[in-house]
Amino acid sequence: MSRSFRVGPGGRLSGRLRVPGDKSISHRAVMLGAIAEGTTRISGFLSGADAISTMNVFRALGVRLEGPVDDGVTVHGVGLHGLRAASVVLDCGNAGTAMRLLMGLLAGQRFASTLVGDESLTKRPMRRVAEPLQRMGARIETNAGCPPVRVLPSDGLHAIRYELPMASAQLKSALLLAGLYADGETVVVEPAPTRDHTERMLRAFGVDVRSDGPVVSLRGGQALRATTVDVPADLSSAAFFLVGASIAPGSDLLLEHVGINPTRIGCLEILRRMGADIEVVAQRQAGGEPVADLRVRSAPLHGIEIPHELVPLAIDEFPALFVAACCAEGRTVVRGAEELRVKESDRIAAMAEGLAALGFVTRPTADGIVIDGRGGDDAVFRAGRGAAHHDHRIAMSLAIAALRSSGVVEVDDTTNVATSFPGFVASARGAGLDIDEIGA
C-alpha cells in the first residue's frame, strides 16, 4: 500500500530523541560477522528494510542469524570460506550499499550468485564497482551496467592498486572485501576522504588494515574473529532533526548516542558554518566508533558555498541541508555533488521539484544546486504536495520543511522511509512535528 505524510505547518522541536542505528554500520556488522570465525553479537542494529535485506541475503548464503530482537542481532559466522551457494536469487531490496559491498564479497567465492533489487535499485549504476573487480579477476555480468548482477565462480583473485575515479566509500569497501580473497596486497587510493566504517570494523574483527593518508590497504587471506558491535545512532537520520531544530524558532533538542565518525560529520560542519547552534557533548567510544550527544537549538542561518572537501562527507545529508539552505539568509552553492544524481532517486532533481511544489524555486546544476535563501523567522514554504520518488531521504526532508511552512505539507511515495528510519513518524511527532502517516 502506498503511503504518504501529512504535516501541519510551524511548530518547534524539543526534548530528547535517539534515532535508529547507523545503516552503514549495520550492513557491515552483518557482513563481517557472517565471514568471521565465531559468534558476533550486534546491539543497536537498524531494524529497517535495507538492513533486513542484508540479513536475508546471508541466510540464503548459509549463515545462521538470530533477531533482530530489541535491536539486537546474533550472527553465527562461517569463516572466510564458509559461505554456500544460494538456491535463490539474492534480493537486496532497496539497499544499494548491500549490493555493491556484496559484489566485492562474492567476487572471491567459488560459486555463482545473482543479486537483484527493487525497481529503484535496478536503475542504479553498478559498472563502477564491477570494472575494478574484473581487473582483480572477478567474473561479473550486469544488465548494461545496472542490476541484476551476476557474480560467477572465481578461480582466484589477485590484488591490484586502484585509484578511485571519484570519492566513494561503497566502491572502496567492495574492493577491500574482495581483497580479503585476493593473493597479495590490495591498495585503494582515494581522491578525497570518505567514510571509513569498513576499515574500522575490519580492524575490530582482527584484520590488519593499513591507512596512510588517502591510501588504504590490506593483505588477502586474513581470518576474521567474531566480536561485539555496538551500532551508534545514525547521523544521517539525525540530520533531519539537526536541520529541523535549527530552522524552527524556539527549538531545543538533544539527539542521543549519535555516531560522529570524522568521515561522516560533513553535515555538522556545514550547518555550523551556516550558523547553526550545535553542541557536541558526552563524547565517547562505542564499538570502535566515536559517539556523542548532540544538542541543537534554533539559530539564524546564512548561506555559504559548500567547501568541496566537505561534499563527500555529507553526501547522504544533502536533501535535508537543501531545506536548511532555503531557510538561510543569502545564497548557498553546492558543487561537486554529482553522486546525488544516482542515489535512490536523482536527489538534486527530486528536491528541486519537491521544494518547487512548496513554492520555493532553486537552480539545479549538473553537479549541485544554487539556493537563494529567505532567512528570518517567517514562513519560507507554502502549503503544497510533493513527491518523494520512493526515496526515504527526500520524504523526510520535505516533511521537515513543514516547520517553516505557511500551510499543510503533503508528501507522497513515503513507503521507503522504513528502509533507514522505521518509526520516523512516531519519533518526529514525539519531538514536536505535527505529522501523520496516511495509508499505513
Determine the Cα–Cα distance for residues 430 and 354; give it in Å rounded to an integer: 25
| Strands of 78-202, DSSP E | 90-91, 113-116, 139-143, 146-152, 157-158, 161-163, 182-183, 185-189
Active-site option among 316, 372, 391, 413: 316
Cα 325 versus chain centre, distance? 21
Determine the Cα–Cα distance for residues 216 and 172; give it in Å rounded to an integer: 9
Cis peptide before 214 (omega within 30 of 0): no
Hey, what amino acid is at 82? G
The DSSP code sequence of 276-309 is -EEEEEEEEEETTEEEEEEEEE----B--BPPGG
Q: State the number of CA atoms in the 13 A half-sphere of 276 facing the CB.
A: 32
Determine the Cα–Cα distance for residues 5 and 354; give it in Å rounded to an integer: 13
Query: Helices 235-247 and 318-326: crossing angle, nearest 10°?
Result: 10
The yes-or-no answer on residue 277 being catalytic is no
- Interior CA angle at 282 toward 276 and 286, to 5°? 110
With contact defined as beta carbons under 8 Å apart, do 380 and 360 qualify? Answer: yes
Neighbours of 299 (CB within 10 A): 18
User: Which amino acids are annotated catalytic?
Assistant: 316
